[in-house]
Amino acid sequence: MKRTLTVCPYCGTGCTFYLVSHDGRLVGVEPSATHPVSRGGLCVKGWNAFAFVHHPDRLTTPLVRRNGVLQPASWDEALELVVERLYSVQKKHGLDAVMFASSAKATNEENYLLMKLARAVFGTNNIDHCARLCHSSTVTGLAETFGSGAMTNSISCFDQADVILVIGSNTTEQHPLIGSRILNAARNGTRLIVADNRRIRLSRHAELHLRHRNGSDVALLNGIMHVIIAEGLENREFIATRTENYAALAEAVTDWTPERAAAATGLEAGEIVAAARLFAGAERGMIAYSMGITQHSHGVDNVRCIAALAMLTGNVGRPGTGVNPLRGQNNVQGGCDMGALPDLYSGYQKVSDPQLRDKFARAWGVTSLPAEPGLPLTRAMNAASTGVLQGMFIMGENPMLSDPDQGHARKVLKNLELLVVQDIFLTETALLADIVLPAACYAEKEGTFTNTERRVQRVRKAVEPPGAARADGEIICDIALRAGYRGMCYSGPDAIMGEIAGLTPIYGGIGYDRLDPHGLQWPCPDRSHPGTPILHMERFTRGLGRFSPALYRPPAELPDEQYPMVLTTGRTYFHWHTGTMTRRTHLLDREEPRSFIELHPDDAARLGISHRDRLLVSSRRGEVRTEARVTTMVIPGVVFMPFHFTEGAANALTNNALDPESSIPEFKVCAVRVEKLP
């Protein structure tokens, strides 16, 4: 048996384990007993992270669409065709007529390479990835208030908090090893506040469970801050020495009395007062959140309020405190860090800055780089629907299931002049492609992932890719070479990381020789730096933390007579994202084999629905058939549906209304009608 230490390919927690292989095939996993995050444990997805690797559905050869049918092709034919057709689209419609979608499942090195390919080779800033669908609100909101859009503390800080506020995160199902830390902390005396209208597992252990209306987070947080200021519970020393613009916040929340906040949220005024006193009264208060906060048409405002609450109470820059956005995918933090964003190079360096453009152009050996920020991925879909965008190169993402308003996404992708998809399986998106490139998965290549606490860790090759499949980075470099660019010839992923470190100050001290045994947390500016477990300890990245008041805005779409219920979406414990890997894992698919929708017993009785009845769920954008799960997990008037299932795709229903600042869609609130099928 061979044991290869690597990083889990699922959520952003960053657990490590040994892939166990025999005769070139994976047979199991063993958790790393010494890892500071997973500490010898794994969730059910981690224990089964080897099972999809050798699935017979794996792509093993390039495919090219001929006469309407995807047919096998050689690498030479497929890659020459990719280059030829990308250039053809640009020649006909302009450099910005193509879009590159990077991947939170690819390594840091591969995300950096695709960003470089888009900008240095094809001359466009149209590069983005799935952070646009999950945490772009965080990047925008925390960069404005703190100067950095990342998790401020380490996962170990959950053990040191006196009170933890979890809002918009079903942590035990989405980030199970972090959820278990929170549960253990609660058992050991940490006081827990859960703000989520579903009765998630954490709420059973909470001192306060705030079941507020979907989309009313700004009202709730403004109400809590009103109470803190009105009762003199704010940390005046921290506000005076570490922050600015406090007067604007105090004025903005003046009218948000507990009674007004209760009317907007559906809570009791006393619940809001109790939450304010509990959080403000603790010496060390931690806030954890995820996509229940970010995936709204006012997601940036939600993040501004969370940052304001932390600063108001002085809970930033110390162990057991901080604002902690939990990243949803294994390398979504790294994708952002590597500049797979339309307005930023690696390390959050702005493309609009002429000095930074010159720095990257000189390093990459090109005369100039595009100055105007490119299209966010969500706005690219709209640009494609109007003909402004004509070509897309999608690496390791499945927008046919992950994007809102699935009917719109399908129409857009089918109408493109060129769609190239690079993936490990023939996904719902790849089925629409003109060219499909077979990629290696995490177990078949070298590189690094960056987890939710900014920990950069080694990913190691345990087995060979199937058939002719190749690592994403190798494919990207080959495309660059065939396009006539010789600046992407590397001896290996460690050399790519060397280039990243030379151009990216927060990664300046990171090299493969320094990442054993448990990686480094950025910022790590030089080779002698030990990494940074906690941000903003002496000063914020921007200097002073900035209070940015937020006005309450309701969701973009509210229930009415035609569509009287609110739909919210999320994940389940046994599946992950679009199910591409977990639904090809027998044990996981056995445990959660089909789509379902949760509805409250009162709604079920009113509609004549029983547990496991077949239902038709409709919105203004589409309809799906699914199975009823009657439960008090949800409140009356609200239904919940996971988005993993292609045969019951929740995103056929969701709303493509975008946050005006971060361009994130409003996945968490849309109006639906639920009917029992005969």
Strands of the 455-459 sheet, one edge to the other: 447-450, 455-459, 520-521
Task: Indicate the residue type of 6.
Answer: T
Give a three-class secondary structure readout of 23-44: CCEEEEEEECCCCCCCCCCCCH
> pLDDT digit string (tens) for 22-37?
999 999 999 999 999 9
Measured at the CA of 378, the angle between CA 674 and CA 617, to 5 degrees, comes to 5
Q: With a cut of 70, which residues of the chain have pLDDT below it?
A: none
Question: Are 238 and 547 in contact, with CB atoms under 8 Å apart?
Answer: no
Question: Are 140 and 665 in contact, with CB atoms under 8 Å apart?
Answer: no
Q: Provide φ and ψ at 417, rounded to 5°.
A: -70, -30
pLDDT of 81 reads 98
Q: pTM value?
A: 0.96
Q: Residue 217: name the closest of 124, 128, 307, 151 by CA.
A: 307
536: left (phi over 0), alpha (psi -120 to 50) or beta: left
**Structure tokens that stand for 30 in this block:** 């063993």
pLDDT of 401 reads 85
Contacts of 319 (CB under 8 A, 6+ apart): 153, 157, 160, 284, 534
pLDDT of 133 reads 82
